[in-house]
């Protein structure tokens, strides 16, 4: 089969690789009909995540038709059309029982060659969190779904059956960015009339804006430096855009626009590669700093006292300029982490069917899988006003 494989920083290629085979009784083999490139894939593409090997198949946002199932698969059958959440979860461990699917403690091998530790540094004897598709040996070395075929473990837990009549594009983002934006909004603890700032107008920030509108949130400020992304978010979700290349201090601006208090909540949909601090970018490159703290620092500065900071953006390791004291002074609540995708899927599918969410509207680029390397470059460079790339095998 054909698959998108990693060969080094900014070097991904579509190659012919062996077809996947069923391994465990509850595996299925999926024939992929649509797959997308995620901002998280860009961290891999830019060589920022250890644990990749030449030839690794990337991709964790995908859907398709069930081609084959293992003997223990009962929830789906050959021919079913399904979306696959990016977190691989067993469904019956301590954490899965609590619907904390991204914390599943059984799918990321704790030992052996596939042993994965995730991004945690001070792990001690803690078990690893869930395996993820196409996300390096740290997350279980599971081949991803930017491919014609993919093996899906735990097929009784993850796959979501899609009713006929819903085109792929309408439901594809249930695999990751839609539940991620939704969880970010729930974690932000906002509702009708709340004020919210979203840092980052990428796909995750846009899905968060869509979900915040669904929840009746009032003023939504959105901070980025790509005018085309901000303009789209303003036109589609009615956000108040702030371009951090044009404004010295977005946090100060937001404080002044909110009676000198700051917003009820901030969503950091940027993460550890945040732009805007040359010092931190250099330190992170030299591995003296785990993550750039730029977005997080601004989030602390622009949230009101007693407010909430919700962080879907990915962070790794330590940040020196974290300003924990300011967060304490303001009495801030933090919520963060990988998305417990499975938890939200039935509800979000319902919103799509009711026409209350239209995640497909952010798609700008549709390409065959064979052109996936171009897709990565365009999305990474923010070229051609790219918001989201969908590939079809």
Q: What does the binding site for ligand NAD look like in residue numbers (CB under 6 A)?
A: 38-40, 42-43, 176-177, 180, 199-205, 223-226, 229, 244, 269-271, 274-276, 294-295, 312-314, 338-339
Which of Zn ion, ligand NAD, none does residue 93 bind to, with CB < 5 to 8 Å depending on kind?
Zn ion
Q: How many CB atoms lie within 10 A of CB 69?
A: 22
The region of 33-41, 77-85, 277-285, 359-367 touching Zn ion under the rule CB under 5 A is: 33-41
- C-beta of 20 vs 313, nearer to ligand NAD: 313
- Could you tell me the CA-to-CA distances from 225 to 222, 248, 307 in Å, in that order? 10, 12, 25
Which of ligand NAD, Zn ion, none does residue 313 bind to, with CB < 5 to 8 Å depending on kind?
ligand NAD
SS3 content of the chain, % helix, strand, coil (to 5): 30, 20, 45
Least Å distance, CB 306 to Zn ion, is: 31
- Could you tell me the CA-to-CA distances from 63 to 127, 214, 347 in Å, in that order? 29, 25, 18
Least Å distance, CB 102 to ligand NAD, is: 7
Least Å distance, CB 37 to Zn ion, is: 9
Binds Zn ion (CB under 5 A): choice among 5, 35, 40, 298: 40
Least Å distance, CB 337 to ligand NAD, is: 6
- C-beta of 93 vs 199, nearer to ligand NAD: 199
Which of Zn ion, ligand NAD, none does residue 203 bind to, with CB < 5 to 8 Å depending on kind?
ligand NAD
Which of Zn ion, ligand NAD, none does residue 96 bind to, with CB < 5 to 8 Å depending on kind?
Zn ion
- C-beta of 144 vs 313, nearer to ligand NAD: 313
Binds Zn ion (CB under 5 A): choice among 38, 188, 301, 332: 38
Which of ligand NAD, Zn ion, none does residue 269 bind to, with CB < 5 to 8 Å depending on kind?
ligand NAD
End-to-end CA distance of the chain: 10
Considering only residues 80 to 99 of the shown chain, the ones binding Zn ion according to CB under 5 A are 89-90, 93, 96
Least Å distance, CB 181 to Zn ion, is: 11
Considering only residues 147 to 186 of the shown chain, the ones binding Zn ion according to CB under 5 A are 176
**What span, in angstroms and rounded, lies between the C-alpha atoms of 281 and 199?**
18
Selection from 331, 329, 332 nearest residue 310 by Cα: 332
- C-beta of 105 vs 148, nearer to Zn ion: 105
**What span, in angstroms and rounded, lies between the C-alpha atoms of 278 and 262?**
26
**CB burial readout 134-149, b (16+ within 10 A) else e:** bbbbbbbbbbbbbbbb
Least Å distance, CB 381 to Zn ion, is: 19
- C-beta of 22 vs 232, nearer to ligand NAD: 232
**What span, in angstroms and rounded, lies between the C-alpha atoms of 176 and 340?**
10
Torsion (CA) 192, 198, 203, 208 in degrees, nearest 10: -20
**What span, in angstroms and rounded, lies between the C-alpha atoms of 66 and 366?**
23
E strands, the chain, are: 2-6, 12-16, 28-36, 61-69, 81-84, 87-88, 131-132, 149-152, 160-161, 196-199, 220-224, 240-243, 263-268, 303-311, 333-336, 365-368, 389-392
Which of Zn ion, ligand NAD, none does residue 359 bind to, with CB < 5 to 8 Å depending on kind?
none
Least Å distance, CB 78 to ligand NAD, is: 30
- C-beta of 66 vs 266, nearer to ligand NAD: 266
Q: In the chain, which residue ranges form alpha helices assigned H by DSSP? A: 39-45, 94-97, 168-171, 177-188, 203-214, 227-237, 250-257, 278-285, 294-302, 324-330, 341-353, 372-381
- C-beta of 39 vs 118, nearer to ligand NAD: 39
- Taken in order 221, 388, 33, 138, is the CA torsion positive or negative? negative
- C-beta of 148 vs 176, nearer to Zn ion: 176
Which of ligand NAD, Zn ion, none does residue 5 bind to, with CB < 5 to 8 Å depending on kind?
none
Considering only residues 122 to 141 of the shown chain, the ones binding Zn ion according to CB under 5 A are none
Which residues form the interface with Zn ion (CB under 5 A)?
38, 40, 89-90, 93, 96, 104, 106, 176
């Amino acid at each position: 089969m054909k698959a998108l494989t990693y060969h080094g920083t900014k070097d991904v290629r579509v190659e012919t690789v062996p077809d996947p085979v069923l391994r465990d009784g509850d595996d299925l083999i999926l024939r992929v009909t649509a797959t997308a490139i995620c901002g998280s894939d860009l961290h891999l593409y830019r060589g920022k995540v250890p644990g990749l090997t030449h030839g690794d198949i990337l991709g964790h946002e995908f859907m398709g038709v069930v081609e084959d199932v293992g003997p223990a698969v009962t929830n789906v059958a050959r021919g079913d059309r399904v979306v696959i959440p990016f977190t691989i979860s067993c469904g019956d461990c301590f954490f899965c029982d609590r619907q904390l699917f991204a914390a599943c403690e059984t799918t990321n091998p704790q030992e052996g060659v596939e042993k994965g530790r995730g991004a945690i540094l001070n792990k001690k004897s803690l078990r690893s969190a869930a395996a993820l598709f196409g996300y390096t040996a740290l997350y279980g070395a599971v081949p991803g779904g930017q491919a014609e075929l993919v093996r899906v473990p735990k097929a009784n837990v993850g796959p979501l059956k899609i009713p006929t009549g819903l085109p792929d594009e309408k439901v594809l983002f249930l695999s990751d960015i839609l539940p991620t934006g939704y969880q970010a909004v729930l974690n932000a603890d906002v509702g009708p009339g709340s004020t919210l700032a979203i840092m980052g107008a990428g796909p995750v920030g846009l899905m968060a804006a869509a979900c915040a509108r669904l929840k009746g949130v009032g003023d939504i400020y959105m901070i980025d430096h790509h005018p085309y992304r901000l303009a789209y978010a303003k036109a589609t979700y009615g956000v108040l855009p702030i371009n951090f290349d044009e404004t010295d201090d977005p946090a100060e601006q937001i404080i002044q626009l909110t009676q000198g208090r700051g917003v009820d909540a901030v969503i950091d949909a940027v993460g550890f590669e945040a732009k805007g601090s040359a010092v931190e970018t250099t330190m992170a490159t030299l591995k003296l700093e785990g993550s750039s703290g730029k977005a997080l620092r601004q989030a602390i500065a622009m949230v009101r006292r007693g407010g909430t900071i919700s962080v879907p953006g990915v962070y790794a390791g330590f940040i020196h300029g974290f300003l924990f004291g300011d967060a304490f002074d303001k009495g801030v609540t933090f919520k963060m982490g990988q998305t417990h995708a499975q938890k939200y899927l039935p509800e979000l599918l319902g919103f799509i069917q009711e026409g209350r969410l239209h995640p497909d509207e952010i798609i700008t680029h549709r390409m065959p899988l064979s052109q996936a390397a171009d897709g990565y470059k365009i999305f990474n460079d923010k070229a051609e006003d790219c918001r989201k790339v969908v590939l079809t095998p």
